[in-house]
Structure 1
Amino acid sequence: MVDDYAWLTVKDDPDVVAYLEAENAYTQEATAHLKPLQETLFQEIKGRTLETDLSVPTRKGGWWYYSRTEEGKQYGIQCRVAADGETPPELKADEPLPGEEILLDGNELAGDSDFFSIGTSSVSPDGTLMAYSTNFTGDERFTLRVKNLLTGETLPDEIPGIFYGGAWSADGTSFFYTTVDEAWRPNQVHRHAIGSPAADDVLVHEEIDERFWVGIGLSRSEHYLILSAGSKITSEVRLLEADDPAGEFRVVRPRETGVEYGVDHAGDHFLVLHNRDAENFELATAPLDAPGDWTPLIPHRTDTRLLDVDAFEGHTVVHFRRNGQTGIRILPRSGEPYEIPFPEPIYDVAPSGNAEFVTGRLRLGYTSMITPPSVYDYDLGAGELVLLKRKAVLGGYDPDDYEQFREWATAPDGTQVPISIVLRKGTERPAPTVLYGYGSYEISIDPSFSIARLSLLDRGLVFAVAHVRGGGEMGRHWYENGKFTKKKNTFTDFVAAAEHLKASGWSGPVVARGGSAGGLLMGAVANLAPETFAGVVAEVPFVDALNTILDPSLPLTVIEWDEWGDPLHDPEVYAYMRSYTPYENVDDRVYPPILAITSLNDTRVFYHEPAKWIAKLRDVARGGPFLLKTEMGAGHGGRSGRYDAWREEAFTLSWILDTAKADR
């Protein structure tokens, strides 16, 4: 098949840059009438946000660590204060904590750069050094530096081209980090001796199988370095005593295709979360001297997906999913296991910020579609939840003014697909609706709160999330039935959700929204049922999936074969992908208005995918308009500064309101 727009893949071609800039100019002109609305929405988002604020401090060693923001500044500031007891210091949003030490100021580091991000910031176990990495382009390649927290001095150590993450040795003399290959796959783990040249760093592991990524971390107990290698369906873990950084990593259990597992150190034994003969995973124990010998602790259940496990000296915490809802289970070293109850019918909860191995408290993050992000400490001794902080929403926000619901749509094959819905009480129905979806990689779009979304709800819109197959909301089978040659279930589930909302009286015009792999969903449903949607917002959309997955030299491609199949070597997979990928299936019919948003330096979904897609829509399809907006100095996550991000969101929301013919 001839690709008429393949020339757009040449990023450094001046004609390509000129084309993208011309598209930006066209989009600006087409949306010029929305400028006043964009400014109004930006001011609403800004006005509801407490701009000078700080996070709940997390205890590690002799310090409380936290971050804060200041009004008028784009980036966060990482700080700490000396610790005294297990109870976090009293928070005052408008002023630093007494005795504050500033570790990293993102605003100072960013300078005048249009883009800035931090890839890792890790403090040594003794609290004296901080390894941190920065990026100024959005291409996700970072430069690592080390700061002496006692003197404030930045050491001469400098390592360019590293990936996210890293881990310290127990004595703080060595830092382990990962680097990527030409396809941007993290394939190597290195050991850097603090104070030595980067050229002397030691390669401790190299992953030659192109399907696998590597990562390195330190157990919460700080006794073990954990080196993980994983593909989409298989994993392998190596361990090394953290006080022996020059030693040899040992394999826990050799990789076995289709078996995923993770390891945590629980003092006198290991905990292993795995799916060997257990689709929804089971939790096992293993002795320290034989970590590959697994004894079941929580057996497999068909109705409960075990998501993660956190080991502490006196207890174990299991994060799970059941009936589309997340939950927390506590396993005391002595006593019966129990689950923590929460009052709302729709919510999301997860362990968060639990750095200490020896503790009587469990830090939790909690939110729902009407409850702003909240931080709790669960007192294990008293069995009580203690609310430490709830994200402030200025302007008189009252959760009682809003309501959330769970609906179920029927897919063409009879599967019941959950939909989470939020709206302002008293909203006249049917109402214009934004329907969000993702549906890949077993990633779940759980109920969550959004300040920006209030600007839609207060104008009479309904916001809904279609929990389509390909995600993980209903367990591992939900994912398995939305990948490979079952991928079309993701798309038909989303269309069924939109049709259900209309048929049940919730929705008038429906604007679909999704990003990345959710952008592929947007392109697919635009081809499948264009008449169903009043508009489509596709952010960094994976709409040229077939051409990308056919090229193993591109980032992510080989590892993605375990998600989509291998069209390069399997004709059946090629034919199946060819039948649904958005770019190839644009045809001569009426499409709804489409807004595609991308970034020039995105290394996950290249800018040329939406650029080619929009060009083909203009050439072949009817309807529209079809708009392309490219951030010329950002990556996969878009613009990095918070005020810039708010303006981008205001731009998108203004387009949604205009397209849905909603009140302004």
Structure 2
Amino acid sequence: MTNIGLTAPSVAVKPKEIITHNHTRIDNYYWLNDPENPDVIAYLNAENEYLAQVMAPVKPLQEKLFEEMKGRIKEQDESVPVKDGEYFYYVKYVEGGEYPIYCRKKGTLDAAEEILLDGNEMGKGKKYFSIGGYEITDNDEIIAYGVDTVSRRNYTVRFKNLKTGEIYKDQIKNTEGGSYAWAADNQTFFYILRDQKTLLGYQVWRHILGTDVKTDVLVYEEKDNQYYMGLYRMKSKKYIAIGSDHNGIASEYQLLEAENPTGEFKTFLPRERGHEYDIEHFEDKFYVKTNTDSAFNFKLMEVDEQETSDKSKWKTVIEHRPEVYLEGIEVFKNHLVVQEKNQGISQLRIINHATKAEHYLNFGEPAYDANIGSNPSFDTNILRYSYTSLTTPNSTFDYDMNAQTKELKKQQTVLGGFDKENYVSERVFVTVRDGAKVPVSIVYRKGTKLDGTAPLLQYSYGSYGYSTDATFGSSRLSLLDRGFVYAIAHIRGGQEMGREWYENGKMFKKMNTFYDFIDCSVFLIKNNYCSPEKLFALGGSAGGLLMGAIINLRPDLYRGVVAAVPFVDVVTTMLDETIPLTTGEFEEWGNPKNKDSYEYMLSYSPYDNVEAKDYPNLLVTTGLHDSQVQYFEPAKWVAKLRTMKTDNNLLLMHTNMEAGHGGASGRFASLKEVAMEYAFIIDLAGIFE
């Protein structure tokens, strides 16, 4: 790739003065925040054309990578069936199909297949298509499902009679995908409506099947737009729950008995700043995961279902442990399953209700990810769980909690001659500048020389308490088989090492996130996993913010960086409460209307800290319809970098003009974007084919 002889797109400078706390910023590219302006669309198209010209020499490599990655996927495939009531439910894919087909069989797996939703038929002819979850009535006859054809995550709910195939006339627009619940009468349906300015779910409505949507009844409204909402039917089926969560700050649940759909939702326990809790109903009580009484890594308690609002009646089931993070639970008739993290490693703990005897599952690898799977049935001694590692494809197991034996039900098929024995995974701890020990998960192909000559791709996310676990990726093999080392830095801002790991990477401690990533890069170089000439970095969304910050702080460390849908204009975005997600994230980044938050955010905001200096080669991606990080953030960032950077390195931007935050829809179409990113990196690494 080269930009020699090519002219990069130019953007008009239209200075806008932004004054905050008597401090003035000049934003020359603020005007790009207008998708209706033809000059904006022309600029995005010009950047796409420029990228196509620069990457033309590696187009054959990009196509080869796409075919490689697609060729590893078993086109005709299906998930392990899950029994729920009288039916076994599963998802399948057919050869050449982009989208899932949702199916079920009654009574036995030998029964006739019933297709619930055929994503390929439903998505035919659409530039973007996504099914945002579905719910089926208690009598198994009606399915409610959400569809998004724009990529703004506004789902339109439709209803289908599974006996006759009839699609009902009812259409409910602008709902939160997947947040649906049926009452026990098989007619009353609850859903969350999204505010079209903030794109936040803020109201719960009740709909009666077959009636005009205009007559639907508002049953709950979230007045505080810093809270995110969820809606679901609990596993016991007794309650419909509305969950309101202010990430890292507080939570609250409203409950309604499913047998009484026209009743009023009642508060489980009123929200209280600093108190987070989750609940699960079991028989005549609730289990409560809570951080009350300074249990920062959470403890498990129980309470009679009639006394939930009195915390003095809560009884401890599992004490708080400072070294173990309690992630969640699954309740069965005879057992309680607890999902935990210790030193960043997943654990599954089985407790017998009657005897209180307990044990842990043994997974036997240094870095992996294990999670409780889909377990809708109460009366079973079989736990369905998932397992994966950097070298082990996604696997589904059934575990007999009494006999303590496991059965592999399915392992992701990886075509093309994949053999896990050809790859090595490691887990190291990096002591960063303030003494914290950051885990790094590493994978490479056997025979790769760790003498500083190998190229390395370092990935991380590091925000919202989201843990980036050591999972398998078949696309990644295209790098490993070309001699790359792949490293995941489990930096602060995530929750891999417990709740404090998250708290020490947000708000006024956000710089830890960036420093951790940089210090891990330095460690990888010093320990001969790579060299600065061969070190690459990748991150998306809030991980794109990470990419923007590290290239401002240490541009010399990286040969190339991929910033996918990056959140880079932190201060301006967080000052604008009309932008989706802004208000709900004040406790993550800070509210710049407060001077101390403004000054701290300004110190790391990638867009505000672009300087006249050399930057590494950079590929930036975005989506015109992105509902989470608006397209104009990366567009403005690229425009400013073009003006100020002093090097001749590549600066490329790709805008998917038909998609949003998640990129292209479909299991194969999305691989084309991955192939573009990998071709960019492989060529810069000097690997020519």
**Counterpart residue number, 2:284:** 268
**Counterpart residue number, 1:157:** 170
**Counterpart residue number, 1:201:** 216
**In structure 2, how many angstroms separate the alpha carbons of the residues matched to 1:379 and 1:527?**
52
In structure 1, which of residues 469, 473, 480 is the aligned counterpart of residue 496 of structure 2? 473
**Counterpart residue number, 1:138:** 151
**In structure 1, how many angstroms separate the alpha carbons of the residues matched to 2:671 and 2:95?**
14
Q: CA deviation at 1:60?
A: 0.5
Contact 1:482 1:489 survives alignment (8 Å): yes
Give matches, 1:409-428, under 5 Å: 409-428=430-449
SS at 1:120's partner residue? strand
In structure 2, which of residues 200, 203, 206 is the aligned counterpart of residue 191 of structure 1? 206
**In structure 2, how many angstroms separate the alpha carbons of the residues matched to 1:603 and 1:444?**
22
**In structure 2, how many angstroms separate the alpha carbons of the residues matched to 1:358 and 1:653?**
47
**In structure 1, how many angstroms separate the alpha carbons of the residues matched to 2:402 and 2:445?**
39
SS at 2:203's partner residue? strand
1:227 aligns with 2:242: yes
Give matches, 1:69-84, under 5 Å: 69-84=93-108
What one-letter code is carried by the residue in structure 2 that aligns with 1:184? L
Q: CA deviation at 1:120?
A: 2.0
What one-letter code is carried by the residue in structure 1 that aligns with 2:142? L
In structure 2, which of residues 42, 47, 67 is the aligned counterpart of residue 18 of structure 1? 42
1:211 aligns with 2:226: yes
1:177 aligns with 2:191: yes
1:287 aligns with 2:304: yes
**In structure 2, how many angstroms separate the alpha carbons of the residues matched to 1:200 and 1:315?**
44
Give matches, 1:504-523, under 5 Å: 504-508=527-531, 509-523=534-548
Deviations 1:531-578 (A, max 9, x none): 00111100000011111011112111111101111111x111111110
Q: CA deviation at 1:341?
A: 1.3
**Counterpart residue number, 2:343:** 323
Contact 1:274 1:281 survives alignment (8 Å): yes
Deviations 1:314-341 (A, max 9, x none): 2221111111101111122112122111
Contact 1:189 1:214 survives alignment (8 Å): no
Deviations 1:398-437 (A, max 9, x none): 1000010011222111211111000000002221000001
**In structure 2, how many angstroms separate the alpha carbons of the residues matched to 1:269 and 1:332?**
17
Deviations 1:455-475 (A, max 9, x none): 100000000001100000100
Q: CA deviation at 1:579?
A: 0.6
Q: CA deviation at 1:125?
A: 2.1
**In structure 1, how many angstroms separate the alpha carbons of the residues matched to 2:684 and 2:431?**
27
Q: CA deviation at 1:663?
A: 5.0
**In structure 2, how many angstroms separate the alpha carbons of the residues matched to 1:197 and 1:260?**
38
**In structure 2, how many angstroms separate the alpha carbons of the residues matched to 1:367 and 1:215?**
28
The percent identity for this pair of structures is 44
**Counterpart residue number, 2:12:** none
Q: CA deviation at 1:661?
A: 2.1
In structure 1, which of residues 503, 518, 525 is the aligned counterpart of residue 550 of structure 2? 525
Q: CA deviation at 1:313?
A: 2.0
1:57 aligns with 2:70: no
Structure 2, unaligned stretches of length 5 or more?
1-24
1:448 aligns with 2:468: no
**Counterpart residue number, 1:381:** 402
Contact 1:432 1:662 survives alignment (8 Å): no
**Counterpart residue number, 2:487:** 464
What one-letter code is carried by the residue in structure 2 that aligns with 1:444? S
Q: CA deviation at 1:98?
A: 5.1
Contact 1:460 1:662 survives alignment (8 Å): no
1:167 aligns with 2:167: no
**In structure 1, how many angstroms separate the alpha carbons of the residues matched to 2:424 and 2:494?**
25
**Counterpart residue number, 1:545:** 570
Deviations 1:99-154 (A, max 9, x none): 10110011111120110001121112221111001011101111101111111111
Contact 1:125 1:222 survives alignment (8 Å): no
Give matches, 1:19-38, under 5 Å: 19-38=43-62
In structure 2, which of residues 346, 349, 352 is the aligned counterpart of residue 332 of structure 1? 352
**In structure 2, how many angstroms separate the alpha carbons of the residues matched to 1:492 and 1:600?**
31
Contact 1:189 1:215 survives alignment (8 Å): no
**Counterpart residue number, 2:392:** 371
What one-letter code is carried by the residue in structure 2 that aligns with 1:191? R
**In structure 2, how many angstroms separate the alpha carbons of the residues matched to 1:161 and 1:255?**
27
**In structure 2, how many angstroms separate the alpha carbons of the residues matched to 1:547 and 1:410?**
34
Q: What is the root-mean-square deviation in Å for CA atoms of aligned residues?
A: 1.0
After TM superposition, the score normalised by the length of structure 2 is 0.93
Q: CA deviation at 1:73?
A: 1.2
**In structure 2, how many angstroms separate the alpha carbons of the residues matched to 1:606 and 1:421?**
32
Contact 2:324 2:340 survives alignment (8 Å): yes
SS at 1:552's partner residue? coil
Give matches, 1:112-123, under 5 Å: 112-123=125-136
1:486 aligns with 2:502: no
What is the count of residue pairs matched by the alignment?
652
Contact 1:317 1:331 survives alignment (8 Å): yes
Give matches, 1:43-54, under 5 Å: 43-54=67-78
Q: CA deviation at 1:290?
A: 0.9
**In structure 1, how many angstroms separate the alpha carbons of the residues matched to 2:255 and 2:480?**
49
Deviations 1:6-48 (A, max 9, x none): 0111111111011100110001111011111011111111111
Deviations 1:190-241 (A, max 9, x none): 1111111111111110011121122211111111111111111110111111
What one-letter code is carried by the residue in structure 2 that aligns with 1:493? D
Q: CA deviation at 1:65?
A: 0.4
SS at 1:320's partner residue? strand
Contact 2:332 2:381 survives alignment (8 Å): no
Q: CA deviation at 1:302?
A: 0.3
Contact 1:124 1:168 survives alignment (8 Å): yes
**Counterpart residue number, 1:257:** 273
**In structure 1, how many angstroms separate the alpha carbons of the residues matched to 2:538 and 2:319?**
38
